[in-house]
Copies of this chain bind each other. A is one copy, B any other.
């Protein structure tokens, strides 16, 4: 059934024939990480792209003091990968972690790229994926350069309430790039 979810996701994103779709799906394998399990550590190269069937992943990096900064959170029916490393082939600065016990599909970087060469719809899919990733990252950049902590929190509440409701404060704070203490004070003020 998780393959059905992925299948629907792909069809929503690009035009693709049934044959191509079946071919593409055949490269995905399942993985069921536990809560808090790391799927990619800093310094490794990002060799897999994940699709979340159930559960939730986060992408984050650590600053020089070892503090987390969460860059992306993927719930059901979303893709997640350490995209910079996936693009460049360089070792990753980003970690990937299952926040909840999850059921995932993944495709290796190698399979992903060879599909791009043989299935034009898959190249198109990659393009759409990059567009989404870019828009998302650019909007994050905008919020860090023009908004203070309170405004970022309010924006998160209105645009992505699930993150606030479903995840522990610790991770919400890391996603807003503020300390847990500050988030706690913000919440009590609003």
Contacts and interface: CB of A to CB of B under 8 A. Distances in A.
B141 A137 contact: yes
B131 A87 contact: yes
Contacts of A138: 71, 83-84, 137
A141 B144 contact: yes
Interface in A89-108: 93
A127 interface: yes
B134 A63 contact: no
Interface centre among A63, A83, A145 (most CB of B within 10 A): A145
Size bracket of the A interface: 20 to 34
A interface: dominant SS: helix
B87 A135 contact: yes
Contact of A139 (B84, B123, B124, B133): B84
A99 B69 CA distance: 34
Given A145-B63, A146-B69, A123 B130 contact: no
A111 to B, nearest CB: 18
A145 B69 contact: yes
B139 A141 contact: no
Interface string A12-39: 0000000000000000000000000000
A126 B87 CA distance: 14
Contacts of A137: 134, 137-138, 141
A83 B134 contact: yes
Contact of A146 (B63, B131, B141, B145): B63
